[in-house]
Structure 1
Amino acid sequence: MALQQYEVDYRILTDAELNAWRKIPPAVASDCMNRTQVMTSSIKPISPGKPICGQARTVTTMVGDCWPICIMISEARAGEVIVVDAGGAVEIAVWGGIMTAEAVYRRLGGAVVHGAIRDITEMREAGFAMYCSAATPKGPHQGFGGVMDGPAAVGGVPVRSGDIVLGDDDGVVVVPLEMAGTVLAAAQAHLAKEEAWVREIKSGAPIPALFKMKTPDTILPALK
């Protein structure tokens, strides 16, 4: 099967824009998108406390094939996040230590793999931000084919090259690039609101009163 690559032309975010996004937790970004755009909960960081924030470069690969990913590692810009649809297969790795060495050398922003990886110890020692579904010693093949920079479905979420990828210990959220300004403003306002809520809680306000929750209905004791 052939390896194909889409021609893409997306707006590259400025350092100031990316710095603003780094302050937005994935959970808040999702809340501001009607609690959508969240990848399946099986995709988690290999290193707790290692957040991820950058623009996506998408790869859809045949199960167990690292070829398209290797090409993308060599082409991606510094800071970009490689987002891989590997079919969710967890018994064969599509990313390993040698690929990580080049990704670190090229200063990529990290990777999200809906599938398996290996050589986790090397990745942790290198400080590489890797999010994945599983790990296995079984290595990949090369040459089956795939698609680079095409629209992808990764962990149940649509992703296109240029979209914003946010990850932390909770998991991964994708913000469509065309919604970036709207979602960022909403997320910043939401964080300010959460800070106000926490201040009120620390002043003694109970959560039910704070959120104006309905009180439970009273049930009379059963007759004996």
Structure 2
Amino acid sequence: MSGGGAGRFGELARLGVATVYEASGRQGLVDEDFIRLIPGSGVAGPARIAVCGPADNRAVHEVAARTRPGDIVVLTMDNPVPVALIGDLLVTQLKAQGAAGVLVNASVRDADTLRELGLPIWTRWIRVRGATKAHRGAVDRPAIVGGCLIRPGDAVVMDGDGVVVVPAERVDDVLAASLAREANEAAARQEYLAGGLSYDLHGFRAADEGAQA
């Protein structure tokens, strides 16, 4: 699994979407189906957002110029449609700028080439339908993706389980809670390997048998 850089984001990437989501109090789920283009990839980083005009990718060119190492570039529209906001040339730029990953709430194209480039990408669709370049759109503006508010600088975590967002001001607390959850799950796993059952460890058997008494 690829990481999202050193430090807090690297740890969030390692811990993964499911752990971070649960540890955050089941908040921040991007509740939409995305295609993970690079098998096995998982990343985390601060959101760098482009809100594009209708079926238009003008804002993607601007956000590519503003991308910094470690960013998760979030590309969306107010009303997403399966139009390709990004292809191999723009992804080449984002990779050269040091982006950690890309979340596309629209379509990508040149999918085989994008896989060869190796930059982790999650996309809602794969379509070749081209975008216009008539609307500037907005860069570093909050956006709602899959029912979740994403603000510039919020932590975006992506892996095989999907996407979760942690508000920037909660990253330290959620990271601490995620590490604690990881430790608890490791201890539980050892008990299960030794023959223990969650039915007993969670007290379900005692509650069920007590109800039947």
State the TM-score, normalizing by the size of structure 1: 0.86
State the partner residue of 2:208.
215
User: Does the 8 Å contact 2:45/2:157 carry over to 1?
Assistant: yes
The residue matched to 1:98 in structure 2 has which SS? Answer: helix
Partner residue in 1 for 2:44: 53
Letter in 2 for 1:96: G
CA distances 1:155-192 after superposition (whole Å, capped 9, x unpaired): 21111111111110110111101001110100000000
Cα separation, 1, equivalents of 2:160 and 2:145: 18
Whose helix proportion is higher, 1 or 2?
2
8 Å Cα contact 1:88/1:114 also seen in 2: no
Structure 1 runs of 4+ off > 4 angstroms? Answer: none
Are the structure 2 counterparts of residues 16 and 162 from structure 1 closer, same or farther at C-alpha, using a change threshold of 3 Å?
Answer: same
Rounded to whole Å, the distance in 1 between the matches of 2:86 and 2:54 is: 12
The question of 1:107 aligning with 2:66 is answered no
Aligned pairs for 1:134-213 within 5 A:
134-213=125-204
Residue equivalent to 1:3: none
Structure 1 gap segments, 5+ residues each: 1-13, 219-224
Residue by residue, what CA displacement relative to the aligned partner does 1:65-97 show, whole Å, maximum 9, x if unpaired? 111011101111011011122246343111111
Question: SS of the counterpart of 2:208?
Answer: coil
**Which of the two has higher C-alpha Rg?**
1
**AA paired with 1:207?**
S
2:122 aligned partner: 131
Conserved? CA contact 2:55–2:81, under 8 Å: no
Please, what TM-score do these two structures have when normalized by structure 2? 0.90
Contact 2:72–2:103 at 8 Å: present in 1 too? yes
The number of residues matched between the two structures is 206
Q: Secondary structure at the match of 2:107?
A: strand
Distance verdict in 2 for CA 1:195–1:121, change over 3 Å: same
| Counterpart Cα distance in 2 of 1:44 and 1:196 | 33
Mapped partners of 1:203, 1:90: distance in 2: 50
1: distance between equivalents of 2:45 and 2:81? 25
Task: Give 3-state SS (helix, strand or coil) of 1:101's partner.
Answer: helix
Alignment pair present for 1:24 and 2:42: no
| Cα offset, 1:98, TM superposition | 1.0
Which residues of structure 2 form unaligned runs of 5+? Answer: none
* CA deviation vs aligned residue, 1:130-179 (integer Å, no higher than 9, x gap): 11111111111112231111111112111111111111011011110100
